[in-house]
C-alpha cells in the first residue's frame, strides 16, 4: 500500500512527523503520537498521556501516498473484516495473516419496520455490532491494541472493563497466544462475567465501580507489578481507540460510499463517538465520500449522563457523576473524551440526549419486535434516544439515519428479565384454543 502513487493527497499527512518517527516499530501508516490538546508529538510507543499537558495522545498518520481510486479498489477487494481498512489503521500491512479474531464488516440492517414505527422516512439503518466474534464492538478496538502489543513486545494483555471489553481481550489473547488478566467491577451482569472468564485468562473483580477499576489500572501501570503489561485501554489506548474508526468506514462503504446524514452513537467514555467522527473526516479528506454535512448525536442513560447534562447546560466541561443505571457498559461517570463529544455534537449540529432505564428496556423490546435484533442495554439507549430525539423534533426523520447497536442482548438478559412466556398450556389443541392463541 505504501507503494501507491502520490496524487495530491499530501495534506492528509496529519502533522510533520520526521523528528518523532520510531523506525523500529512497523504500524503501517501510523507515524507518531500527537497530543490532541497541545499538539506535542512523541514517537510511537506504549504511552497515552501527553508529558506536557496530560492531554490524550492519538495517532498521527501519513496517508500522503494514497491515490483515492486505488485505495477504494484495495479496500473493496479486502477481507470481509476490519482489515480491509488496514491502510487507514495503525497496523502492519500483513495484519490479516497474523492470528487474531478478525472482527468487523457487521451488518448494516435497513430497519424499515422500526422506521415506520418511529416515523422515519429518509431511511433508517441499524449498524449491528452484536455480530462481532465476542458480540460487541470491542473486538474492533482490541484488534488494534493487540497489534500494538505485538509491536511493543508485550506478552500480557489487560484492561479495565465494564464487561464487553474483558471478553474481547480474553478472546483476542487466547487466539494470539498472549496471557490475559483483566479487571472488572465485581457486580457486573453474569453473562458478561461468564463471557470474559470462558477464554481462560485471569478475571479479577474489583470492589468498586468502573471508575475505580480504571483508577486502579492506571496506578498498576506505573508500578513495577504492571511492567510489561499491555493495557489495551490505558497504555495502548491511542492504538485501541482507532478501531472505532472502522465503524465509520463500514457504514459509509455499506451505504455505497456515502455519508449518513445523521448517526446516533452511545457514549461511555466518548471515545467511540470521537473516533467515528475522525473516521468520517478521513474518508472526506481522502476523497472516498462526498464532502457534505452530517450530524452526530450522542446517547446516554439518565443514570449516567454527565455528557448530556453538560450539553443541555451549554457547558464545555463535563462534571463527573456516580453511575446508577442498568446500562452498565455505558456507566462511566468520568468520561475522558466527554469534552470532545460536546465539541463534535455542537460542530456537526447534533445533540446529546439521555433516556431512563425504563425507556432503555422499552427500546430493547421495540428493536427486537420490529427488526429481530436483540440489543444489549447500550443498544436500548441509542434506539431510545433516537425515538426521543425524533419526538422532540431534534432528529430529522426525513434524513438518512444510522443507529448503532454495539452489543448483543444475551449479555444483559437481566434488563429484560420480566419478558417471558405468553402462556403455559397443556399439550392439547383444546388448551391451545382456550388460551386464545389460534
C-alpha angle 38-265-279 in degrees, rounded to nearest 5: 50
Q: Which residue from 31, 95, 169, 241 is in contact with another protein, where contact means CB under 8 A?
A: 241
Report d(CA 80, CA 86) in Å as an integer: 12
Identify the three-state secondary structure at position 330: helix
Beta carbon nearer to another protein, 330 or 368: 330
Identify the three-state secondary structure at position 183: strand
The answer to the question of residue 187 lying near another protein (CB under 8 A) is no
C-alpha cell at 376: 444489549
Q: How far is the CB of 233 from another protein (least distance, A)?
A: 4
Cβ proximity of 266 and 244 under 8 Å: no
Distances (CA, A) of 181 to 163, 178, 198, 201, 332: 13, 10, 13, 6, 21
Within residues 358-417, the interface with another protein by CB under 8 A covers none
Q: How far is the CB of 307 from another protein (least distance, A)?
A: 12
Q: How far is the CB of 158 from another protein (least distance, A)?
A: 11
- Annotate each residue in 278-317 with x if it binds another protein (CB under 8 A) or - if it does not, as one string: ---------------------------------------x
Cβ proximity of 263 and 401 under 8 Å: yes
Question: What's the length of the chain?
Answer: 438
Q: Which residue from 215, 258, 315, 346 is in contact with another protein, where contact means CB under 8 A?
A: 215
Identify the three-state secondary structure at position 268: coil
C-alpha cell at 97: 495473516
Could you tell me which of 433, 195, 190, 117 has the C-alpha nearest to residue 182? 195
Tell how many helices (H) and how many strands (E) occur in the chain.
Answer: 14, 13
Beta carbon nearer to another protein, 138 or 365: 138
Q: How far is the CB of 39 from another protein (least distance, A)?
A: 14
Beta carbon nearer to another protein, 142 or 252: 142
Query: Radius of gyration of the chain from Cα atoms?
Result: 22
The answer to the question of residue 222 lying near another protein (CB under 8 A) is yes
The answer to the question of residue 161 lying near another protein (CB under 8 A) is yes
Could you tell me which of 399, 359, 401, 352 has the C-alpha nearest to residue 381? 359
Q: How far is the CB of 299 from another protein (least distance, A)?
A: 14
Q: Which residue from 3, 223, 420, 427 is in contact with another protein, where contact means CB under 8 A?
A: 223
C-alpha cell at 420: 417471558
Report d(CA 113, CA 60) in Å as an integer: 41
Q: How far is the CB of 336 from another protein (least distance, A)?
A: 4
58 sits in which H/E element: strand 57-61
In this structure, what is the dihedral angle of CA atoms 163, 166, 168, 171, given to the nearest 10 degrees? -130
Query: Binders of another protein: how many residues, by CB under 8 A?
Result: 48
- Annotate each residue in 316-345 with x if it binds another protein (CB under 8 A) or - if it does not, as one string: -x-xx-x------xx-x-xxxx-x------
Beta carbon nearer to another protein, 51 or 69: 51
Within residues 41-60, the interface with another protein by CB under 8 A covers 47-56
Within residues 117-146, the interface with another protein by CB under 8 A covers 138
Beta carbon nearer to another protein, 241 or 367: 241
- Catalog residues that contact another protein under the rule CB under 8 A: 37, 47-56, 138, 159-162, 164-165, 210-212, 214-215, 218-219, 221-223, 233-234, 237, 241, 268-271, 317, 319-320, 322, 329-330, 332, 334-337, 339
Amino acid at each position: 500500500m505504501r507503494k501507491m502513487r502520490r496524487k495530491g493527497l499530501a495534506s492528509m499527512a496529519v502533522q510533520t512527523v520526521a523528528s518523532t518517527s520510531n523506525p523500529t516499530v512497523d504500524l503501517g501508516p501510523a507515524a507518531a503520537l500527537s497530543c490532541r490538546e497541545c499538539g506535542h508529538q512523541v514517537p510511537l510507543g506504549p504511552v497515552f498521556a501527553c508529558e506536557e499537558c496530560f492531554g490524550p495522545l492519538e495517532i498521527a498518520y501519513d496517508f500522503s501516498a494514497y491515490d483515492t481510486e486505488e485505495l477504494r479498489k484495495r479496500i473493496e477487494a479486502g477481507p470481509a473484516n476490519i482489515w480491509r481498512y488496514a491502510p487507514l489503521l495503525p497496523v502492519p500491512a500483513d495484519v490479516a495473516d497474523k492470528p487474531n479474531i478478525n472482527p468487523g464488516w457487521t451488518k448494516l440492517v435497513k430497519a424499515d419496520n422500526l422506521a415506520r414505527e418511529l416515523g422515519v422516512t429518509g431511511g433508517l439503518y441499524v449498524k449491528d455490532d452484536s455480530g462481532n466474534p465476542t458480540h460487541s464492538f470491542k473486538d474492533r478496538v482490541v484488534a488494534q491494541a493487540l497489534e500494538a502489543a505485538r509491536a511493543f513486545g508485550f506478552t500480557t494483555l489487560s484492561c479495565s472493563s465494564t464487561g464487553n471489553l474483558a471478553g474481547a481481550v480474553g478472546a483476542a489473547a487466547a487466539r494470539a497466544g498472549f496471557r490475559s488478566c483483566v479487571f472488572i467491577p465485581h457486580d457486573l451482569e453474569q453473562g458478561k462475567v461468564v463471557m470474559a472468564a470462558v477464554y481462560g485468562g485471569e478475571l479479577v473483580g474489583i470492589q468498586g465501580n468502573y471508575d475505580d477499576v480504571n483508577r486502579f489500572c492506571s496506578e498498576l501501570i506505573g508500578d513495577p507489578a504492571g511492567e510489561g503489561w499491555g493495557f489495551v485501554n490505558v497504555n495502548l489506548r491511542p492504538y485501541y481507540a482507532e478501531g472505532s474508526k472502522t465503524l465509520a468506514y463500514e457504514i459509509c462503504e455499506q451505504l455505497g460510499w456515502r455519508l449518513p446524514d445523521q448517526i446516533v452513537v452511545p457514549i461511555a467514555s466518548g471515545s467511540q463517538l470521537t473516533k467515528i467522527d475522525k473516521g468520517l473526516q478521513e474518508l472526506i479528506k481522502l476523497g472516498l465520500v462526498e464532502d457534505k454535512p452530517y450530524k452526530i448525536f450522542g446517547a446516554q442513560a439518565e443514570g449516567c449522563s454527565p455528557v448530556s447534562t453538560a450539553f443541555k447546560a451549554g457547558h464545555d466541561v463535563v462534571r463527573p457523576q456516580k453511575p446508577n443505571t442498568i446500562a452498565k457498559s455505558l456507566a462511566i461517570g468520568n468520561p475522558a473524551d466527554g469534552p470532545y463529544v460536546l465539541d463534535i455534537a455542537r460542530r456537526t449540529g447534533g445533540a446529546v440526549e439521555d433516556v431512563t432505564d425504563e425507556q432503555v428496556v422499552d427500546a430493547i423490546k421495540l428493536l427486537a419486535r420490529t427488526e429481530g435484533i436483540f440489543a444489549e442495554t447500550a443498544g436500548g439507549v441509542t434506539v431510545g434516544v433516537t425515538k426521543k430525539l425524533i419526538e422532540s423534533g431534534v432528529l430529522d426523520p426525513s434524513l438518512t439515519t444510522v443507529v448503532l447497536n454495539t452489543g448483543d442482548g444475551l449479555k444483559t438478559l437481566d434488563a429484560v428479565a420480566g419478558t417471558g412466556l405468553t402462556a403455559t398450556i397443556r399439550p392439547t389443541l383444546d388448551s391451545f384454543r382456550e388460551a386464545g392463541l389460534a
